[in-house]
Amino acid sequence: MNEFCEGQFDVVVVGAGHAGCEAALACARTGLKTAMLTLNLDSIAFMACNPSVGGTAKGHLVREIDALGGQMGINADKTALQMRMLNVGKGAAVQSLRCQSDKHAYHTEMKRTLEHTRNLRILQGEAAEILTENGSVAGVKTTYGGVLSCRAAILCTGVYLNAETITGEVRQRSGPNGFAPATALTENLIKLGYSVRRFKTGTPARLDGRTVNFEECAVQEGDEGISPFSFMHDGTVKNELPCYLTYTNARTHEIILSNLSRSPLYNGSIQSTGPRYCPSIETKVVRFSDKDRHQLFLEPEGKDTLEVYVQGMSSSLPHDVQREMYRSVKGLENCDIMRYAYAIEYDCIDTLDLLPTLESKKVSGLYTAGQINGTSGYEEAAAQGLMAGINASLKLRGKPPLILGRDEAYIGVMIDDLVTKGTDEPYRMMTSRAEHRLEIRQDNADFRLTQKGFDCGLATKERYRRYLDRKARYEDAVAQLQGRVPAADADAFLRSLGMDGTEKPLSFADMIRRGASLERLQSRFGVAKNCGASAAQSAEIYIRYEGYLKKGLEQIERARRLEEKKLPPDLDYLKISGLRLEAREKLAKVRPVSVGQASRIPGVNPADVAVLILYIR
């Protein structure tokens, strides 16, 4: 096949899913000539599984993407069908925003955003080879022989690498939703030295909404007065459509258990590793045999379609079994399936081959992001794509990289987990993974990250202005809440709430720490009303948890001292006496950039860390 030049670029992004979109936008918006190569323009930012953005911990990622100057939060707000705040009965650290999205509108909005971005060319085609010169990226070659010359490449291939869908006895070479798979690139990645493995995910059926009896299901409305994801949006999001709740039952479980021999998950047809935290309905019924039902959410796919997504009921059972299984559920007795559920297997890499910038340790200028890194979820992918794009841009512009610490962002926790510990199953972000989750809440993402995004050249001047304004209003609210209330007024207020009174004057902050809400204080005293709801809420959270936050900062400072102890990239761990053999092997494989990262590698204990510290001194 004759080669021909498709163009000269600074960066080529391979893939146009949620990772690819953020990576391409980050590069183009920071002034780099960028190309996005995608198998199909119709799959740009396509929601192949859940028609939603956010959720527990994932909502934190979306806010962080937005604070840095990314696009996901903006487009999620524009195309929202409803929004809900999860974990409202728990502490502020784990509360997360979730948006039910219009699937087709989200794709259209992101495609429009990309098409109107300067410095960005979009091209439909399949990547066949990453071209290198002297150990560095030199270009990307397509299956048609086109060469896109570049100085850096970002691979955001999603679940498309050698993808196969499996339903019952039928196995097909296919990407999600019937899109074509990418069959050429895996062999090239292996030649470049990557360790490639096989993961699995799946999706439930889509039902014809006309055949669902929603009256038999519990209505799940969105929350009123919820602030949107993006700090660039004022006001609240309008709720357009409801979701519904129903449950599996004994009959459903009986159908599944009697057909396990036909399930690819249980008859040996599927050997790859699936997601632990989003199991198929077959797995849930088998693993949790003590439960007599499992909840299912019926979610609209959009305003312009009747398709209904059945969250909680992904499956790879044969079509005839699926039909009987879905129809056994209350409200779905007469449902017609528009798209059957399926499992999908795909190739991904070992993330221990990556630096904390998401750049390859094997090829300079080659970055990976998203499900090729073994993660699951749109939000995890978008966050990685953003960071890979930022770091590729910084490198090509001759600037230091942006590596977020575990105490700075959920994005930092996720990437550190991937490049330090690796993952043997599809990785999902959870609040329990973040040891500093009280410090890295979703409400303060702009305080933590917008300055960094602005310094990188990605966050716009308008975004930066909004950040400074909200920060000033937050500081004003904190100051106002230090104001004191006479003893008689404070006593009367506390007693009106059914709380113990006081004989001494109290500050508004004192009363918040006693359990009073800012809303009640504002209603009675008008304090911090002029600061805006968002800034005042952040101030209330800070004051309520101030003691814990101060203790957390002490822990963060101790951890940072270890991060500041850098390790030489060419250090020969196998020759360091005093290190245990396991520690030597693990350190040699991961090649940590700091003592702090070394301390988090499984198999490296505190005694090994002490030896390292002495050695580098």
pLDDT at 1: 67
Residue 462 has pLDDT above 90, yes or no: yes
Q: What angle do CA 240, 243, 249 make, to 5 degrees?
A: 170
Instruction: Quote the CA–CA distance of 197 and 427 in Å, as a whole number.
Output: 14
564-616: CATH topology is: DNA polymerase; domain 1 (1.10.150)
Whole-model pTM? Answer: 0.96
Residue 23 has pLDDT above 90, yes or no: yes
Looking at the domain that runs over 470-552, which CATH code has it been given?
A: 1.10.10.1800
7-19 pLDDT per residue, tens: 999 999 999 999 9
- Contact residues for 207 (Cβ-Cβ < 8 A; gap 6+): 298, 307, 308, 310, 326, 332, 335, 336, 337, 338
User: For the chain, what is the mean pLDDT?
Assistant: 96
Residue 336 has pLDDT above 80, yes or no: yes
Percentage, residues of the chain above pLDDT 70: 100
pLDDT at 227: 86
102-119 CB burial, b ≥16 within 10 A, e <16 = bbbbbbebbbebbeebeb
Amino acid residing at 68? L
4-48+105-202+346-427: CATH topology is: FAD/NAD(P)-binding domain (3.50.50)
Confidence of residue 567 (pLDDT cuts 50, 70, 90): very high
Average pLDDT over residues 326-344: 98
Helix ranges (DSSP H) in 397-430? 410-416
pLDDT at 587: 94
What sign does the dihedral 451-453-454-456 (CA atoms) show? positive
206-342: CATH topology is: Elongation Factor Tu (Ef-tu); domain 3 (2.40.30)
95-124 pLDDT per residue, tens: 999 999 999 999 999 999 999 999 999 999
Confidence of residue 556 (pLDDT cuts 50, 70, 90): very high
Instruction: Quote the CA–CA distance of 343 and 380 in Å, as a whole number.
Output: 20
Helix, strand or coil for residue 501? coil
398-449 pLDDT per residue, tens: 999 999 999 999 999 999 999 999 999 999 999 999 999 999 999 999 999 9
Percentage, residues of the chain above pLDDT 90: 93
155 vs 224, higher pLDDT = 155
Residue 366 has pLDDT above 90, yes or no: yes
pLDDT at 582: 93
pLDDT at 559: 87
Q: What angle do CA 15, 44, 207 make, to 5 degrees?
A: 125
For residue 37, how many C-alpha atoms fall within 13 Å in the half-sphere facing its CB? 31
What sign does the dihedral 124-125-129-133 (CA atoms) show? negative
pLDDT at 276: 87
Instruction: Quote the CA–CA distance of 451 and 553 in Å, as a whole number.
Output: 20
Domain map (residue ranges) of the chain: 4-48+105-202+346-427, 206-342, 470-552, 564-616
180-204 pLDDT per residue, tens: 999 999 999 999 999 999 999 999 9
